[in-house]
Structure 1
């Protein structure tokens, strides 16, 4: 059986998830990451992790397709056995997501349901299926958003689902503690990535406005978030449990 620590990062092929995966590797943790459609990008992240001296693998997962979860969990189990000679992993980072801002009055039920499935219902049931595979002393790290603390027009659906995740994280911490598993949620502020069609990255005026809301006078980058998630997977963070950790540079204080 392997003594190596292994993390499963959903949506680890780009953006925040990619930086999380690489920073986990820097902490000496092997990584199993998922991608939705861009296998080439996922393969590149795997190579980057291997270049750091860690093992990695990538699997396809569409968070919106809840019916695929059972087969995906079995695929993870098979990969753990074949690549790491183990039947369990240590850290589950529920990062995969979709972006989109729509004014409250224009939200359709279809849009609402897609965000519900990807950001809340899907995370709920995928995590539930993975609990038997998480080692004692393991960690669950969910991802939220600064917009659960401050309201930004157009994000009523996204922020509501993330707000639900913040409550769920406390229940995970409460109910899984008997298994030695902690659960925390990291809430990034505005970040320059390709998330939500790179809305912030492609809009200098928006960057300038958002920077003005921060005491540090800038928006965040993926490199601001990955190290925090990696830290939560170390022994130094073993006593942090059930917490919402905002990593947003003090925006809207």
Structure 2
């Protein structure tokens, strides 16, 4: 029996990068996975196909986050997909992974960009979680994907770092009231990970890769599967006694 047999997981931002790796790992562990995406339907379908080809179950739901009606759109798709699959209208695992960056120092941040990054990175996971709570079965898991920049000063992306700091606070504060239901709430904080988001400056750039690797105690750039494996631990029964915790998944960067 797989670790997550009978569980239903919703992973936001699951069409690429870290989100994709998380969705595929949870699928391999036996969960039925709701693959949320914002724009790239082809990539999301590829994630679904990868999970189902390996014997798992998954379906994709499109919803642009950070806009009016985003949570309604998302959960309409979740409900429709679960009904179509003959699954209970319930969730066991929520991974708030979707997010956007804002690579700008304080002098360059425009109010519209500030509002957008907070809408996607803070408002959306807050209200997604609010909507998910009535569906989340006792003993469930909420896992928020933050960033090492809440530990390591990152003035080049100050507004982005602030959004992740808010998410860290959300984790700790939410864990206490949900403990009575056996629901754990944790944060996983990646460092620099080799994903499409970082491809422009990292891939094919030996100097950049060497600089990032030199900052990490474990001596290399992170991979999406590194983060997915940490999430899988928290999602499993082995993570049942871990809550309100911020897990550093930076490979020991900037120690």
**Short-chain TM bin:** over 0.9
Match of 2:143 among 128, 141, 144: 141
Give 3-state SS (helix, strand or coil) of 2:229's partner: helix
Give 3-state SS (helix, strand or coil) of 1:176's partner: helix
In 2, distance between residues paired with 1:92 and 1:61? 16
Match of 2:214 among 208, 212, 216: 212
Structure 2, unpaired ranges of 5+: none
Partners of 2:92 and 2:141 within 8 A in 1: yes
1:208-247 correspondence to structure 2 within 5 Å: 208-247=210-249
Give 3-state SS (helix, strand or coil) of 1:162's partner: helix
CA deviation map 1:154-205 (0-9, x unaligned): 1111111100110110111112222321100100011110125644335432
Query: Is 201-210 or 48-57 further displaced after alignment?
Result: 201-210
Match of 1:171 among 170, 173, 187: 173
Aligned to 1:25: 27
The two structures, once aligned, show a CA RMSD in angstroms of: 1.5
Match of 1:106 among 104, 108, 114: 108
Offset, 1:51: 1.5
Partners of 1:193 and 1:200 within 8 A in 2: no
Aligned to 1:187: 189
Query: Is 204-213 or 105-114 further displaced after alignment?
Result: 204-213
In 2, distance between residues paired with 1:202 and 1:10? 29
In 2, distance between residues paired with 1:95 and 1:202? 26
- The ranges of structure 1 where at least 4 consecutive aligned residues each deviate by more than 6 angstroms after the TM superposition are none
Give 3-state SS (helix, strand or coil) of 1:155's partner: helix
TM-score, normalised by the number of residues in structure 1: 0.95
Partners of 1:214 and 1:249 within 8 A in 2: yes
Offset, 1:69: 1.4
Structure 1, unpaired ranges of 5+: none
Partners of 1:8 and 1:92 within 8 A in 2: yes
In 2, distance between residues paired with 1:202 and 1:161? 30
In 2, distance between residues paired with 1:104 and 1:181? 37
TM-score, normalised by the number of residues in structure 2: 0.94
In 1, distance between residues paired with 2:63 and 2:201? 24
Aligned to 1:158: 160
